[in-house]
Each structure stands twice: as structure tokens, then as C-alpha cells.
């Protein structure tokens, strides 16, 4: 069964996961030219919010230490940039 046939997997979710995996493989391939890595890295990082919303990082761990650190650092930086919600004022 393909992702297209599955009613539980939205096509955009399958696409973002596929793109992340392909870009991660390019980042990890020692034969990938540095110029291509610089093009792929922002695309890989741009996919993180969608993957996090899908719960991918709750289910799977990135085994490559450098890639795992890059993803963890980016997720932490994005969390730090999200403004917290203001607390409601207490009734007087």
C-alpha cells in the first residue's frame, strides 16, 4: 500500500517526510559536494516544524550524531523564538 492509497496519511505529510529523508541522505553522503549540502540544509531544516507536528521525532531517532545535533539545535532555537502566550489577568 502506498501513501497515496492510505486514507490516514495526508499526501503533504508523506511528501514532507520523503523530502526530509532524501535531504538527510544527501547531507550524510560523503560524496555530496559541499555546495549541494549548503542548498539542502535549509530545506531539511524547513521541514522540521511539520515533522514535529506529525510526531515523527516522538517515534524515530536520528542515529547520525551530527545530523541529530543539528536537528536538535534547530528545534531548540525554534522553540526559543516562539513567544509564550500571555497569561490571563486574575479577576479582582
Give residue-wise pLDDT tens across range 5-44: 545 555 688 899 999 999 999 999 999 999 999 999 999 9
Domain ranges of the chain: 11-79
pLDDT mean across residues, the chain: 86
Q: What is the pLDDT of residue 81?
A: 87
SS (H, E, C) the chain: CCCCCCCCCCHHHHHHHHHHHHHHHHHHCCCCCHHHHHHHHHHHHHCHHHHHHHCHHHHCCCCCHHHHHHHHHHHHHHHHHCCCCCCCCCCC
Amino acid at each position: 500500500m502506498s501513501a497515496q492509497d492510505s486514507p490516514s496519511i495526508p499526501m503533504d505529510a508523506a511528501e514532507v517526510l520523503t523530502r526530509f529523508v532524501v535531504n538527510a541522505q544527501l547531507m550524510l553522503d560523503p560524496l555530496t559536494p559541499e555546495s549541494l549540502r549548503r542548498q539542502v540544509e535549509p530545506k531539511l531544516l524547513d521541514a522540521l516544524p511539520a515533522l514535529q507536528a506529525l510526531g515523527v521525532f516522538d517515534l524515530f531517532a536520528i542515529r547520525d550524531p551530527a545530523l541529530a545535533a543539528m536537528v536538535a539545535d534547530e528545534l531548540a532555537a525554534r522553540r526559543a523564538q516562539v513567544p509564550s502566550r500571555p497569561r490571563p489577568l486574575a479577576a479582582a
